[in-house]
Amino acid sequence: MTARAAREGRPARTPAGSWRYRPVVRQALAVGIATGAYGISAGALAVAAGLSVWQAMATSLLLFSGGSQFAFYGVIGTGGSPVAAVAASTLLGVRNGFYGLQLVRLLDVRGWRRAAAAQLTIDESTAVAVGQEDRTDQRVGFWTTGLAVFLLWNAMTLAGALLGTALGDPRALGLDAAAAAAFVALLWPRLRGRDPLAVAALAVLLTLVTAPLAPPGIPVLVAAVAALVVGLPGGSRRPA
């Protein structure tokens, strides 16, 4: 530790590649492996929704967002239009744009690296990056997590799609309803506090009211209004 770092009460910076960066790399790889392995369900659910193996791979390579992909599969699998499916998945992908606003300061990337960083900006890479105190650790955590998830997620998507195709008719195994179940499993841990519960309750109510009347996929978009109804009136009164 340098004298200046000691006076300021912060850890000294050490050269890249030293032992100091091993903890963040281990954390990033652990998160990447755990998240990427879940991609096998994305591949299976994609073919269950009627997509081909290559279409399933395209969603993981280009969209690369678990929640958005499951929403897309769910709408397509229930007979919704592609427009409704894209709109539903886009609503869930907006959060990555807000992540990018925070990460642009931490990563300080230019040129083609900015495009690569945008593609790898997901829940997991953001969480690992912002959870580090040192700037270099933040960058190492982001890139290591993002690349680990991307590579394994796509490999497991391919495995799941091939497995789902080999199983035959997905409806016979109940896979046509699995997209909704997977999405609920992703959502459930986030329902903490009054506002998330209020949004969820209102979204369920709006869905139940509109589902018998609207085409497949539209109730999902209508349910998104719940976030505006709950969030906007008190948003300006809450402290940052």
Return the structure tokens found at 27: 């954390």
Q: Does 152 or 206 have the greater pLDDT score?
A: 152
DSSP string, 116-138: HHHHT-SHHHHHHHHT-SSHHHH
Grade residue 219 by pLDDT with cuts at 50, 70 and 90: low
SS (H, E, C) 159-227: HHHHHHHHCCCHHHHCHHHHHHHHHHHHHHHHCCCHHHHHHHHHHHHHHHHHCCCCCCCHHHHHHCHHH
Query: CA separation (Å) from 145 to 31, 72, 164?
Result: 7, 24, 27
Location of structure tokens 């789902």: 164
d(Cα 85, Cα 68) in Å, to the nearest integer? 9
Q: Does 125 or 174 have the greater pLDDT score?
A: 125
Tell me the mean pLDDT in the region 110-122.
Answer: 90
Grade residue 84 by pLDDT with cuts at 50, 70 and 90: confident
pLDDT at 149: 93
Q: Is the pTM of this model over 0.75?
A: no
Highest mean pLDDT, choosing among 60-69, 152-161, 214-223: 152-161
